[in-house]
A and B are shown apart, each in its own frame.
Chain A
Amino acid sequence: MYTASDLRKGLKVIIDGEPYVVTAFEFSKPGKGQALYRTKLRSMITGLSIDRTYREGETFEPASLEERVMQFLYKEGDHYHFMDNESYEQIIISEESLGEAKSFLIDNLNVKVLLFGDRAIGVELPNFVNLRVMKTDPWMRGDTSKADFKPATLETGYELRVPPFIEEGELITIDTRTGEFSKRVKE
């Protein structure tokens, strides 16, 4: 159990039954008045931010999130199917809960699934994943007038900018933290 004086940036707590992370924090105390803890909190389920002010002595349940390594199996409409590598149990995560991560999921990729109780609320990707380029313009050799980057579409439908020498069908490494091209994969 936390009390208001434990609040700080990055703390994960339960509010109205849902997990939130503290993103901003300020201690205030009007003259001769009580201590107030002003926070900005982001819902770990919806991603929406709320402002809340707490008083000294108010208590919070810590949001304990379980992490389990699971393998991405396949996508079916808005549903993404994962399998627990130890128990072989299968779970479904909605496209909405996945957020940005959906752009980097390829079959058989191992990810960390974040569970709040029985509910999967998101995944944590490896920092680098390899994805195949499905569509990009050919490289005009010798054309120096062109920009340093050109658009490309990956097998997941994700669009990004790649160096001009990358060709359709090539495998490239993406940094999932920034969503940007990292390097070409030699096959």
Chain B
Amino acid sequence: MAKNWPLARRKRALHQRARILQGIREFFIENGYLEVETPCRIPAPAPESHIDAVPSSTWFLHTSPELCMKRMMAAGYEKVFQICRCWRERERGSLHLPEFTLLEWYGAGGDYRSLMEECEELIRFLAQAIGTGRTIHFRECEVDLSSPWERISVKEAFQRLARTTATEALEKNLFDEIMVQEIEPKLGLRKPTFLYDYPAERGTLARWKSEDPTVAERFELYMGGVELANGFSELVDSEEQRKRFLMENENRQTRGKPIYSMPDRFLAELDDMPPSAGIALGVDRLVMVFLDAKTIDEVVAFTPEEL
């Protein structure tokens, strides 16, 4: 018997993982997307209040390929996808690894609503490819993948599932706690659920809704209470983007976190980007859901603790 039993035991999961990765590529290539690779090591990440990058000499490991992929969009690449490793400091738990795999894709002409549709198609395609069919058994839930999936706005979710409104939660600085304790566990139990229209300050890189600028055109996808993806209609106004980055850096400073230098090249090119939608999907978590894994550890070859 193999000495490394935990690794030997993951063979089935890692075979399925490989099949899912293949399936993702098939889906996007069939739909006219170009697979791209952008550098993992970058001068600075996008300034965001709660995402910390791992330093690499005087640069950083990217926390997502967002900035480089948007620069490609601005240079005329209209449909791009990437599967890559990303790093986020101090994120470790049953759903978190400090080094993890993200799938990001961007499409010109789309918005967050068309992106939700595309998400549905991708996941149904993958379910077919690995032979799970129309229903996924995950954490005692039977999640039905047939169209349409549930869509609920953040405002409605607070009204229906929490003891306070979203506005009150933000005022009392309890938005994240209520989200984690009262709302997330109830999302995506029978059907995958899109939680959409986040408060504007929770969508730093997203476009604000024209008919209601208090919310950002941003959504998250949940299955079995687990957040899988975060997508939005992209903000393509460089002046507005710079303002928001400065605010995020101010937030970082008040929390005693290092501030990140302005991504000037990204900002200089952003105005060339066509109206688009883009999304990041956690591949490890998607594999977890497909395989009904209890923790993220079960779907990777090595966790940091095993190295």
Q: A27-B95, A36-B177 are in contact. List 15 more A-B contacts (CB 8 A).
A: A28-B93, A28-B95, A28-B180, A30-B176, A30-B227, A32-B51, A33-B176, A33-B180, A33-B202, A34-B50, A35-B50, A35-B90, A36-B180, A38-B180, A56-B90
Task: Tell me the bound Cα distance from A33 to B175 in angstroms.
Answer: 9
CA distance A34 to B201 in the complex (A): 13
A56 to B176, CA, bound (A): 12
Q: Please report the C-alpha to C-alpha distance between residue A32 and residue B63 in the assembled complex, in whole angstroms.
A: 12
Cβ contacts B97-137/A at 8 Å (1 or 0 each):
00000000000000000000000000000000000000000
19 contacts between A and B (CB under 8 A): A26-B94, A27-B94, A27-B95, A27-B96, A28-B95, A28-B180, A30-B179, A30-B180, A30-B227, A31-B220, A32-B198, A33-B179, A33-B180, A33-B202, A34-B49, A34-B50, A38-B181, A53-B180, A57-B256
Q: With A53-B177, A53-B181, A57-B256 given, is the CB distance from A32 to B93 under 8 Å?
A: no
Q: Which 9 A-B pairs have the closest CB atoms?
A: A27-B93, A33-B176, A30-B179, A28-B180, A34-B50, A31-B230, A31-B220, A34-B176, A30-B176
Least CB distance from A1 to B in Å reads 15
Contact (Cβ within 8 A) B179 A29: no
B78 on the interface (CB 8 Å rule)?
A: no
> For the complex, what is the distance from the CA of A38 to the CA of B176, rounded to whole Å?
12
List B residues 61-108 near A (Cβ within 8 Å).
90-96
- Give, as a whole number of angstroms, the nearest-CB distance from B86 to chain A: 14
**Within 8 Å of chain B (Cβ to Cβ): is A5?**
yes
Contact with B along A10-43 (1 / 0, CB 8 A): 0000000000000000111111111110100000
Best-buried of A28, A32, A57 by chain B (most CB within 10 Å)? A32
In-complex Cβ contact of A26 among B50, B90, B93, B179 (8 A) = B93
- Chain B residues closer than 8 Å to A32, beta-carbon distance: 48, 50-51, 198, 202-204, 230
| B residues 138-166 touching A (CB-CB < 8 Å) | none
A32 closest partner in B (C-beta): B202
Main secondary structure of the interface of A (DSSP, over half): loop
Task: Please state if A36 and B91 are interface contacts (CB–CB under 8 Å).
Answer: no
CB distance from A35 to the nearest CB of B (A): 7
> For residue A29, which residues in chain B have a CB less than 8 angstroms away from its CB?
50, 91, 96
Asked, given contacts A28-B180, A53-B177, whether A33 binds B94 with beta carbons under 8 Å apart, the answer is no
Distance A33 CA – B173 CA, assembled complex (angstroms)? 11
Interface membership of B292, Cβ < 8 A: no
CB proximity of B246 to chain A, nearest CB, Å:
17
B250 close to A (CB within 8 Å)? no
User: Which residues A105-146 have CB closer than 8 A to chain B?
Assistant: none
- The residues of B that contact A33 with a CB separation of less than 8 Å are 50, 175-176, 179-180, 202
Best-buried of A5, A31, A38 by chain B (most CB within 10 Å): A31
When C-beta atoms are compared, the residue in chain A nearest to B256 turns out to be A57
Shortest distance in angstroms between B248's beta carbon and chain A's nearest beta carbon? Answer: 10
Q: Does B255 contact A (CB under 8 A)?
A: yes
Are A30 and B184 interface neighbours, CB within 8 A?
Answer: yes
Q: Which of A27, A28, A38, A57 has the most CB of B within 10 A?
A: A28
